[in-house]
Amino acid sequence: MCMGDVPSFFTISPKYIILFSMILTALSGCTMSNYGKLKSTLEVKQSFETYQILPNHKYYYRGVKNRPTVIVGINENYELNSKLWVQIDPESEDFRILIDRVSLQGMGTTIEPWGFNIIDDAGNYVGVWYSAIRAAAVKVNENRQIVNLHPSRTLAVGDQLQ
């Protein structure tokens, strides 16, 4: 065997490369297709900052009460199925205090809270999100239970996207 020859067990047929690529594409599509997303909207930010309460929504926060990281309003057609979220009465003074505390995130820096619509994997409106955290895993099951609403660690820097 010459130096330039490659043993036959090292050669891979192009059809196997194509097959492997198709399998990887299908698997990655399956894993991500069941997740929803956050969609940036300035109206949601403004509604939180002016203490507007959306009808037919239940409100929750995540984090400790004196330093909440996220406030969400979930449409009554959905159920937030997580012990990591604490329900809050939107008519209470505590609700306004929580919004003010989220609004102070990044005070004096370019980090600021943004407003988002929460969208499920089928593109349906689930609720609203207010936080300097601008990404989340959103998973809703067939019974309209939100089984995963987990903020990432990505902070919003600069002005809100529209």
- Average the pLDDT over each of 6-15, 124-133, 147-156 and give the range with the smallest value: 6-15
The token duo for 59 is 């409100």
Question: 19-33, 34-48, 52-66, 80-94 — which is least confidently predicted?
Answer: 19-33
pTM above 0.85, yes or no: no
